Every structure is written in C-alpha cells, then in structure tokens.
Structure 1
Amino acid sequence: MPVTLDTLLARRELQLRLVWADEAARERPWAWVHSSDLADPTPFLSPGDALLTTGTQWSSDDDIAPWVERLAAAGVPGVGFGTEVIRDGTPDALVTACAAHGLALLEVPYRTPFIAVARAVADLDAEERYARVRWTLETQRAIAVAALRPAGLGAVVAELARRIGAPAAIVREAAGARTGDEGPDLLGDEPPRTVLDEALALLRAGRRAARTVDDWSLQTVGAATALTGVLAIGPGSLHDDAERAVITSVVALAGLAGVTDRDALTASAAETAARLAALRSAVQAALVASEPSPAVVAEPPAPGDPAALVQPLLEHDAETGDELVSTLGTWLRCDAVAEAAALRLGIHRHTVRARLRRAAELLDRDLDAFPARAEVWAALQAAGRV
C-alpha cells in the first residue's frame, strides 16, 4: 500500500498529532514530504508532495487561506505545522482552511525535526517498493509452477486471480463462435457479456491490442499473426508496476500455452511444446523431492533433458573454477537481487553481476527476462544444483 496519513501517524517515535482529516484525506497517498516557509512553494511541489512549515511566511492569519488554496490546487495531500518555533499550537485559520480544501493537517512538535518526518516517508515508500518487488518475484514464480501443471493455462489464470485479488480469465474463440452456434472458450472467471463481446472482437481483428471495457482490462495473447486468446482482468487490482510485470509474464506464458494447446502449425511450435513438456517433468520432480540432490552430474545429460541447458555452465566451472552455477542458483533463490546474493555468498555485488553476465552468455539467455529465469531455475532443479 502507498504511504498515507495513517501509516505516517503509526510511526510513534515522531509524536505527530492529527489536527484534521476526513476519510478522503486519510486515503490520499503521500509521495514525498518537503519543508518550506515560502509564500508560494507550489512551483517546487509535485502532486502528492506534502508540505511542512513553521508559518514564518504569514504576516497575518489572513495570508493562510490563500496559501492553503494554492497548495490544494497543486495536489498537496497534507500539511504539517511545526509548533513552538514561531507560535505555540496550530492556528485556527490553518485548521479552517485545510478542512475547507480537504488537506490533512498534522501538528509537528518542536522536538521532532522536519527531516525526521521526511525520512520516515522515504523509508515507508522504500519498504513498500521492496515489498512489491518481492511480491512480483514470488507471484511470477508461483505462476511459472502453475504453468507446468497438467491443466497449465487454467492453473495460471486461477493463480493470477488469487494473487491480484481480482477476477481473471482467458477468452478464446471456440469453433462455431463466428456463426453464433457456440459461445467463447473461457478459462477462469466469467466476465460480463460486454467484455466477452469486446474480447472476441479483438481476436477477430487479428492484431495485438489492449482495451478497457466496464473496468475490465483486456490484452491479446499470442503473436500478431496468430492470436490465441485475450487475457481479461477484472476490477479490484492495483494496476501498479508490480502487477503489470506479473501480467506481462502471464501473457508470455499464455501465448506459449496457446501455441502448444492448439498443436500449432509450425516446427517452432513443436519445439516449444517439447521444451515445455521437458520442463514440466523436471519441475514436478523437483517439487516432490524433499531435498535437492548435491550430486555432481557424472556425464552430460541427453539433449532432451532439461538439465542439458546448464551443461555449459558445469563444464565452464570445471575448467575455470568460476562458480557460475552456485552464483546463479543463489541469485535465483534470492529473488534475482544481486546484493542479497552477494551477501549470502560473501563476495562483492559486482562479482555477482559479472558472473551472471558470463552465465547469460554461455546459456544464450536474457536473465533479466522472467521466462528465461524460470527456464534456468527448472534446469538447475533438474540438475540437482539448487
């Protein structure tokens, strides 16, 4: 959740006192906090920036109402008044003006420096961002595992809906749908009729597109030349960067599943199906194992074995002692955070990144992409290296 008035008030060490706020003011997010005693600080503020002041800019209380009006127009969510610097207590005119314009009003005691309030907001924002990054990685991992189940695409949609707390569905055009003999092929929650109609229209248009209909977000799945469905996300989700990253992963996985489900029509589709089947077997075996096997691969795996993917790393480590496999495995267990992996391995983060770059070159994979990380993770599991 974003930083709000209530999350800031919960920091008891600041000893802030709430003077005025209605429900709407409590829910408005605080992006940052500035301090200023300028008569007009709005040129230096962005929407979502709260403001702390001691009131030295007001020659009389008559200056307060227009000052607050300017802040409200700039999108300021709240004001903190520092007491015992110029005057004791919060001016009544400030309380009246903030209430009139819907700005939350806090009283900041003399013993609490403004920088402490600003730092608290920055810390809360950083904690929220980190939590969302972890949520993204954990959700992508859960969705990757769901994709390897026998009913992979349906499991992916169900896992997505559970994780984002909103209805989700894959809409595909069933045989006979164009003539009205049969309804759409649907996986997941059933959207409203207007949403289904728009999803089918997107499929029939035959090009990649995204729409919003009745608070449902629609995004086509598959290649532009061969759409396989439409991902529909219902109301209730956050629609932030973390969620968008997860949805991008689902679109990629659903596109692959659509190709394999329909037996697709080209050699590349057959290769994709074989690769997914091999990965499915490997991950299922890894999930039921109580402990990963520490055994070193005695001989090169067969070409169809998922463990073959990481064979170049094993051979490289045997020749150079670079420990690319252990570094890569630790990095994946640390949710792809280089700093955390470096701490666990006892090496510098730059060393971790250098090894990851070398591993990516040997694997011919872009490890910044989630599908590649999922594939490598499964291969390491199959090889008993994580």
Structure 2
Amino acid sequence: MTLVKTLLEIPELRLRLRTGSALLDRAVSRIYVTELPDPSRYVSAGEVVLTGLLWWRRPGDAEPFVAALARAGVAALAASGADTEGIPDDVVRACARHRIPLLEVPADLSFAVITERVVLALAADRGREPSGARKRLLSSADAPLPVLLRQGAQELGAPCWVLSATGRVVGGTAPEAPPVEWYTPGRERVVADRYTLLPVGGRFAVPWVLAVGSPETGELADELAGLLSLARARAEQVRRTADRAAEPLFGALGSGAGDLAAAFAATGRAEPVRVVVLRTPDDEPALAAELLAELVADVPASLGSLGDDACAVIEADEQWPDTARARLSTVDLFVEVSRVYAGISGPATVDGLRGAAQEALHAAEVAARRSQRLAVVAGEDVAVHRLLVAGAPDELRRSVRERVLGGLLAYDAAQGTDLVHTVRVFLECSSSPTAAAKALHVHVNTLRYRIARASELLGLDLNDFRTQVDVYLALQAG
C-alpha cells in the first residue's frame, strides 16, 4: 500500500515534510493537481493534492483551501512555493490546524515527474506492472501539449483533441473536432456519436475537455487527461511569467503616467493592437482574468488589469470581435457566472494606446447596459460622439451640460415643458423640421416655433452647424 511516508522515501522526489509527522500512515489513492482557491468540488478522499500555490495571494487565503481538503479527506498536500518564495507560513499553519500532512516540493522539480512516480508506485501496489502504452505515455509527461496529444493518439489508436469551454480547439491530431457542447459538466466521461469526451482536470475555472475519436476508451484516456492537466499548468506558469513583464504597461495605462512606449516595447507586441476589458459582476477578478486569458489564448497578447478590470493588449484583426462573441457564447454551459461583458477598442498604435484603453472601458460599460448574459461591444459599434463624451470626467460633463443647456433645463422645470426633448429629436433628425415634426407627431409650424423658442432660451442659433454639434454633445453628457 502506498502511504504518505512512501512518497517521502522516494529519493528523486526530494520531498520535505513541513507539518503532519503523526499523519504519514494515510493511504494514497491517486494524485490530483489543482490551483482553484476552493477545490472542494474536485478533490476526494485519499488523494495527494499537488499545487503550485498560484491561488495564494495573501495571508488568509490558505484557510478555505486547506479546509476543503480536510472535508474531502485527502491524504496530503504537496506544494511548491516557487512563485511565493517558499511555502507561506499561512499555508503551514492551516495544514497543521486541519491535520493535513504538508510536503514541500523542490522548486526545480517538475509536477510531471511527481505524478509519474506516484502513478508507478500505485500501480505496483495493485500488483500489476503498467502496460507498455502507459509507460510510453508517462514518458511524455513533460512534453508540450501537442507532443503529448500525438503520443496519446498513437497509444489510443484514435485522434485526440483538447477543447476549451470557449469552443476553441486548443490542440488536436486531426481536423473536424467535435463541439465542446457535447460534454456534460460534472460527468467523468460522455460518449456522443463516435467520440468520448473527458474532463481535463486541474485548477482552472474555465475547463478543458479531452475528446477522443472513439466511443470506447479505457483508463489510458483518463491518464492522458491527467497529463494534459499538468501540461496546462506548465503553460499557465509560463504565461504568468510573461504577464509579470507586462505589469509596467498596464501600470502606465491605468495611471496615465510613465513611459508607455518603453513599457509597450518590453512586451514584444507589434502594432496595431486592441485593448480588451472583461468584467463579471460577481466580484470574481480571478474568474474574469481566466476568462479573458482563454478568450485571447490564440492571439499574441499581454494580460494584466486596468483598475478592477481584467485587461489585455492584443494583436488581432478586424474580425476578432466576432470571434470573441462566438467564444463567449458557450462559456455559460461550463462556468457558473451570472453575467460576462467585454469591451474591445478599435485598432491603435502605441501613441493611441491610452485612448484605446478608455474606448475599451466605455465599450464595456455599454455592454453592461445590455440585456444579454454574455455581451461583447467593440469600439467600432459605439458612435464617436459617445466615446468623446464618455472620455470626459463626470464633473466636466456636468459643467458643460449646465453651461450649454442650463437656461433650457430651467425653463422646462418651471413650465412643465419638454423643449430639451424637442431639441434632441430635431438634431437627431439632421435638423429637418419636417422629419422632426413627424417624429414628434406635431405640425411643422409648431416644431419651428419650439425650436425658435429654444434658441431664445439658449441664446444660440440652433440652425448653425457648429452650435448644433455643441448642443448635441451637451445633451449626450447628461
């Protein structure tokens, strides 16, 4: 029987016990990798949970994570503190409090090596040598996802694909991947048509699914799904390292200060770019960041935050907003979120990047006002005058509205009239008295009288084009 202390005795793993010396006789059933802040839905009794601590941000974060492991009855927690300069004391204390053995993983040791050794130890306990196919698959455990998929397809004798919850084909060994919608969340495997679909486990809120082009698969497909989870975790660590290099760019965008051109050059992005802002109203910034990372996964992108919003600067073509809409359309099948809305700027050079960020923020606000659960608005979809007004500070908009429209607003309030509405309709009808009168269901002479009266109150000539522009922008500022 493989026990927790068995893992400590494997020389090449170099695991170090941090707490739980009296709990090392717990039996190990399998190994599971996760970085979810709350892994309670995915862990089970007897597992050794392997984590890179990417969910840990500050003291207090360890309590809900470790408590979930304790409720599930896991055998131990194995953690690598490579990204946190060692395992935080907060994690050690939580493990001691909840009686979870804590094993420290050397920062230079691959999770794939740990997984392979634990799997081999468990196989030996069951009295059966791993098959040749399984050994060959495990030998590819450290390989990039495309190589791992090719090896899996060869051993399974069927094409394989990895699908994202966004519908994106992450990788595959043949064309014509099945739709991700065929998979039912929460199921271990789903057989649909001539395919088998299995969850790729791990810490991610936006799941991946392994699709195998055969309705009959055995444990080897489950093994492949587990190794793909490790491959995704490795790719995520690489992305997070790249994101740290982009932090000065998002700092300069958010503050309006700093050398934006130098920060942009450091990311290696090529002009023109778009700025993308994604929000969820559930106060889950980690979920928004992961959704955005999946949304832009196959275009050159730098990810970070703009205030409280997940943000990306991407190289993308003019069709990309339509691609984003299509990808978000499947997310609610897999992710528990009440709403998702995104704003996308038009193409911009580095000189226009701050303006593009404001454009994306305003487009996100427009998306938030729409009724759809999943809404994407591109800057090209928003009228220029709205973008100009949206970019002005609130105090300036109020001041302009009062300065330009104050006399008219006061008259309407005192007389119970609505000349402001008449002026708005008149301008939106291209200053055509006939068209405006028809829209307001009044005689054209009545319309002309009202516009003349409004001009008197405003002290302006509403038939002058430049005046019309000023008044219309003031109307939009309200």
- Same fold? TM cut 0.5: no
Bigger CA radius of gyration: 2
Q: What TM bracket, shorter-length normalisation?
A: 0.3 to 0.5
**TM superposition score normalised by structure 1:** 0.32
Q: Relative CO higher for 1 or 2, CA cutoff 8 Å, sep ≥ 6?
A: 1
TM-score (norm. length: structure 2)? 0.26
